[in-house]
Every structure is written in C-alpha cells, then in structure tokens.
Amino acid sequence: MRSPEKISSRPRLEVADIFQAYGDHFRKTHRLTSKQHSVMRDIEQCRTGELGYHVDICSSCGHEEHAYNSCRDRHCPKCQGVARRQWIQSRLSDLLPVLYYHVVFTLPHKLHPVGKYNREKIYDLLFAAASETLLQFGRDPKHLGAEVGFFGILHTWGGKLWDHFHLHFVVPGGGLTVDDQWVEPKYKGKFLFPVQAMSLVFRGKFIEGLKSLYAAGELEIPEEMKHLKKSEQFEKWLNVLVARNWVVYAKKPFSTPEKVVRYVGRYTHKVAISNNRIIAMDDGKVRFNFRNYRNKGKWEETSLAIDEFIRRFLFHVLPKGFHRIRHYGFMANGRCKANLEKIRTLLQAKTPEEKPQETERIKCQKCMKGEMLPMKVITPFKTIILRPWWLLGVDACPG
C-alpha cells in the first residue's frame, strides 16, 4: 500500500468533516476541557467562512485570489505543513559536521491509566527523566566526559490513536568539556551510549519523580484505581511498574546530519492522525490506515466507532501552553547559538548559510509570472491591510 502520508491532494474525508457531523453530539455526551472545546471549534472552522478570508494579489498582473483563513491550531491536521518545513529549515542552519543520533524513550503502558489524569505532570516528568539520563551519561568520563546538547519532541499516540507516551531526541555525537574542548563518543559511531544502561537510569529517575509527586499530594488518582491512595498499594503498583520494560531505543547514526533532521522533522509538527490516513466514515465507524510495526511497518486498515475516534483524537490535545519541543545541554535556549559557534570554531567548520524562511507564496495561475502576495485579511472582527496595492508596482487597482 502506498504511504497515505505522501498523498498531497485534498483527502476525501477530513477530521474537520467528522467533527462537523458528530461534534455537537460528542460535546453533549462527553466532558471536555476548555482546550479540547477550543481545538474542536478551530478544526471545524478551519478554512471556512467562519474565520473570514484573505486576499492575495499577483505582483505582476494584479490578479486577485480570495481564500478562507486557516485556524493555525497546532492540533489541526491542515495547518502543520508550512510550520514543519520552516522548523526543518531552522534546524538545518544549526547543524554541526558530526554524526547525529536519534534516541527514543518510551513509558510502559502500565503507567497510562494514571498518566491520563496527570498528563502535564507526567509529560514534564518524562522530559526531565529522559533528558537528565542523557546529560548524566554524557558527563560520565566512562562514556564521554562532556556536556552533550540535544532537543526532544513529545509524542503521545500510537498508530491507532491509542495513548503511547514517548520522546524523540536528536543528539549530536560529541560534547563540550569543562575547559571548552570538543570530544566525540567512545564507541566509534556504533552507538551513542549503551541503551540497556540508559533504560535502567531512566526508569530510576522517573520512578523517583513519581514518588515525589505522590508524596506531595500532586498526583491525581483515578476512581478506578482508588486503591492506590493507600501508600502501601501505591508501592506495590510501583514495584509492578519497575518490572515492566522501559524501552530506550537508539538508531544507528544517520549518514549525514541533514538526513536526521529531515527524518525527525516528520515528527515535529505531526498531529495524532493526518487527514490523508482517513478512508471513510460509514456504519457509525471511521476507517483509517495505520502503520503496523508488528508486521514490518506495513500500512493496514482499521476502524473505530465515531465517538471513540473523536475521544482518542482529543486525548492527544496538549495542555494549554505546553512546550512539546525542548532543548537541553549546550543546545539549551539562550545558550545554543553561542555554543554552536564555539563548537564550529573547535571543529574548524563553517557556519551554514541561513536560508530565507519559506513562505506560502505561490505563482500566479493567471499570468504565470508574478508571485501571489498577501494584501489584506478579513476576519469576523476586523480588516487588516497588509500591503497597499500601489506599492506592488502593478497597474491594476483592486476593488
């Protein structure tokens, strides 16, 4: 089966269509957070008259085109393409001439019932435990003896929209020592750090963090697990959790830095399901494609009841203001640019040329010469003039 992710034409069915048809019923029969309400509304209204429209004008012939406004919600399947490409462009200018590693940290499914009721705390703890594990291994002279730098991306779903909490990290192969020297990993490009050892440290850090949240009374215990409110039962549950498989997965280093960024770029602005994966909505179910990693990653078809499809999609709505991409070590915010320049100097490497940010401009389909430039945006509340027509150098005077 051809990958649904690579189909570029407008899908026959979109998440917006499902929300428009069944959203009202779902809202009446389910309890939603204000953020989930907001996301549903944004997706339903995206690129419809509800959000107004914008006018583009050709820089050559003055031809006008009108199009509905996008919602730009980070959970909307229609609004992530340009943002993802711009993110990749920005990361390409940050690259170092070294091997890059892709490391994935995954929480065991046994944790998920509690995670559902404490999502922001669990996500933050996942980031903290995983990032501290990488930093600890980097600082250990046995492995590297330097500060590593990396960024991580949170994903909360699996192929069938189930909950699957995991982090993707991209780690340059090497680190800065305390005396500002660059050192490379000791394993000659085979792997960054031993994954089994990282798994044990990651588990220990996460469990300690979970205990701290519980002791401080900051962990909400769901009604179906109310026995965990007794500390001895919580300890037993933790013991079962410890015995589970805490997966840390590391790919072999990519052949070029650009390849790892473009590969991971597929994850950065992804939403729980793309519109191209949805096949049909019939007989009270939504049919869609998913990649079955238990069958060599082949694309297969599955279905969910409409209410369950909506429920699973909305489960993956992130808490308001939550940062799902985070930077650490020598790539931490505020330090990244200076550290990268320092490392390039040590490696005697040139600074990559910054390319202009990609825009959504397209060629005029009337004259096939000029670019379509934004002229004004009309929203339900106001009109914003972006570019007076007389500055465009065209003869036409748009009405």
Contacts within 8 Å (CB) and 24+ apart, 25-32: 26/307, 26/310, 26/311, 29/307, 30/307, 30/311, 32/314
**Res 173: pLDDT:** 93
Directed axis angle between helix 257-268 and helix 81-92, to 10°?
150
Q: Residue 157's beta-bridge partner residues?
A: 163
Q: What integer pLDDT is reported at residue 396 of this predicted model?
A: 40
Indicate whether 92 pLDDT > 70.
yes
Long-range pairs of 232-237 with CB within 8 A, sequence gap ≥ 24: none
pLDDT computed for residue 3 by the predictor: 52
d(Cα 321, Cα 216) in Å, to the nearest integer?
24
Backbone angles phi, psi at 373, to 5 degrees: -110, 145
Residue with tokens 């594990």: 133
> Considering the chain, what is the average pLDDT of its residues?
88
Query: Which positions ≥6 away from 27 have C-beta within 8 Å?
Result: 37, 40
pTM, entire model = 0.88
Domains located in the chain, CATH noted = 8-75+361-391 (no CATH), 81-272+316-347 (3.40.1310)
- Digit-coded pLDDT (tens) for 67-81: 999 999 999 999 887
Q: In what order do the strands lie in the sheet with 372-378?
A: 64-68, 53-58, 372-378, 383-385
- Rounded Cα distance between 279 and 271, Å, is 17
Rounded (10°) CA dihedral 361, 365, 366, 371: 20
The rounded distance, in Å, linking the Cα atoms of 381 and 89 is 34
Least confident of 143-147, 239-243, 257-261: 257-261
Core vs surface per residue 323-335: b (16+ CB within 10 A) or e:
ebebbbbbbbeee
The Cα–Cα gap between 290 and 303 comes to: 10
pLDDT of 358 > 70? The answer is no
Q: What is the pLDDT of residues 149-186, one digit of tens each?
A: 999 999 999 999 999 999 999 999 999 999 999 999 98
User: Which helix H or strand E contains 93, and what residues bound it?
Assistant: none
Residue recorded with tokens 């031809």: 63
- Tell me the mean pLDDT in the region 309-313: 97
> What local confidence, expressed as pLDDT, does residue 297 receive?
83
Cα–Cα distance for residue pair 130/151, rounded to 1 Å:
11
Share of the chain above pLDDT 90, in %: 68
SS3 288: strand
- What pLDDT does residue 2 have? 46
What HEC string does 221-274 produce? CCHHHHHHHCHHHHHHHHHHHHHCCCCEEECCCCCCHHHHHHHHHHHHCCCCCC
Amino acid in position 36: Q
Q: Is the pLDDT of residue 354 over 70?
A: no
